[in-house]
Amino acid sequence: MLAVKPIASGEVLFVVPRPAVLSHSNTDIHQLLTTESLSLRSRSRWVPLLLTLMYESSHLDSPWAPYIALWPNFVQADLPMFWPRDERRELLRGTGVVQATAQDLQNIRKEFRTVVAPFLSRHTDLFEPERSNLELYMRLVAFVMAYSFQESRGGKKRNPPVMVPMADMLNHTTNHNAQLEFSQDVLKMVAVRAIADGEEVFNTYGQLANSQLLHMYGFTEPGSTNPNDTARVPWITLLRSALHGQGPKERKLLRRKWRLLSQLTAVDEGIMVGWHGVHSAGKLEQVLKVLSMPKAQFGVQNAGKELGNTQGALEASADVEAGTEANFGTTFGA
Ligand SMILES: C[S@@+](CC[C@H](N)C(=O)[O-])C[C@H]1O[C@@H](n2cnc3c(N)ncnc32)[C@H](O)[C@@H]1O
């Protein structure tokens, strides 16, 4: 979307009334989805919207048909989840996207098998059996992943995703010039700074690292233009460096410490390093304290005390992350 004249900061670019937002509460099968809501519960909380899209996209007389027709068969997203597995492993090694995508695929298949397929088989009058399959479901998940919005509810809590026509035309950049505001009756796209004639109107999908953008949206911000970018250093790298040049006794002690750290899940997804240093530096500090603790001092009690602090540091860093949560798209099942 390009500006065709200068736009002032604070100007409303367009307004989407709530009835024009596509969600599970705005479809002909709303009543059915409500009646069966208990059986449609899942980790992702996306099932009602995905079933809504499946239903509305199979009815030519749907009021949403002109919107849905913009994505014939929902085949548009070049997300890593559709790349051949070997290519993903080879090209995305070390980014965390390989594991995240594998987890997504596992969750999507399980959700389809245990929640969606039983629902579809109970309602063959509403869903064409030959079309309503896992393959379509995966394309719908990708569509929701890359095009939906989620309204934050009082801090951490998030509503289920919804489709917001028009707002979902906007691309993302960290240095965005517009953002979506939610109010009771309408959603408004508002300029957050002056936009020049001919400039692209950019929304924000959140403060996302390139690995997250690639995982959920299939693109990255080039070079060093993404201040939210991170690199992930696997924890095992830390153990390897600690072991380096040590004698057998020290190595044995280090391995004991590592087992304890692993059991207490202090070493999980890796050390995230951003432009301004290590994210959750508190956790790294506590792990280093345990690793460098003299043998006489090392015991479950001492290590446990350090790791108790680690939990505190972890919770604090989770709060910071929740405060900067994206309002646009999420990883499946997060
Ligand atoms: C909500 S849609 C935005 C509208 C989209 N460009 C379209 O025409 O349908 C999100 C998708 O747009 C693309 N996209 C958004 N921002 C981008 C950017 N800065 N660079 C490249 N592609 C981008 C990605 O394919 C992403 O999955």
**How far apart are alpha carbons 38 and 40 in whole angstroms?**
5
Nearest CA residue ID for atom 13, ligand 1:
171
Residue 270 confidence (pLDDT) above 70: yes
Beta-strand runs (E) in the chain? 12-17, 148-149, 152-153, 157-158, 162-163, 171-172, 178-182, 186-191, 202-203, 230-233, 271-274, 277-278
Nearest CA, atom 5, ligand 1: 169
Query: How close is the Cα of 190 to the center of ligand 1, in Å?
Result: 19
Residues in the chain, total = 334
Q: Per-residue pLDDT for 317 more than 50?
A: no
CA distance 203 to 172: 5
User: Which stretch of 34-38, 60-64, 257-261, 297-301 has the lowest confidence by average pLDDT?
Assistant: 297-301
> Residue 46, CB half-sphere, CA atoms under 13 Å: how many?
28
* Tokens linked to 265: 């899940």
Q: Nearest residue CA, atom 15 of ligand 1?
A: 171
Tokens standing for 273?
């390093």
Q: Which two tokens stand for residue 200?
A: 């692209």
CA distance 189 to 152: 16
Of 48-52, 66-70, 155-159, 194-198, the poorest mean pLDDT is in 155-159
pLDDT of residue 327: 33
Please count the helices (runs of H) and the strands (runs of E) in the chain: 12, 12
- Is the CB of residue 219 below 6 angstroms from any atom belonging to ligand 1? yes
Mean pLDDT of all residues in the chain? 87
Q: Whose CA is closest to atom 20 on ligand 1?
A: 219
Select from 2, 164, 171, 220 the residue to mutate for testing ligand 1; criterion: most ligand atoms less than 8 Å from CB.
171
The predicted structure's pLDDT at residue 263: 80
Average pLDDT over residues 223-238: 86
Q: Is 77 in the pocket of ligand 1 (CB under 6 A)?
A: yes
Q: Which two tokens stand for residue 194?
A: 């002056």
* Residue 37 Cβ < 6 Å to ligand 1: no
Residues paired with 231 in a beta bridge: 273
C-alpha 172/C-alpha 178 separation (Å) is: 10
Q: pTM score, two decimals?
A: 0.83
Angle between helices 248-263 and 300-323 (to 10 degrees): 50
ipTM summary value: 0.99
Residue identifier of the C-alpha nearest atom 27 of ligand 1: 217
DSSP state for residue 247 in the 8-state scheme: -
Each residue's pLDDT tens digit, 148-186: 999 887 666 678 999 999 999 999 999 999 999 999 999
Following DSSP, what letter does each residue of 127-172 receive, concatenated?
A: S-TTTSSHHHHHHHHHHHHHHEE--EETTTEEPPPEE-TTGGG-EE
Label the pairing between strands 277-278 and 186-191: unpaired
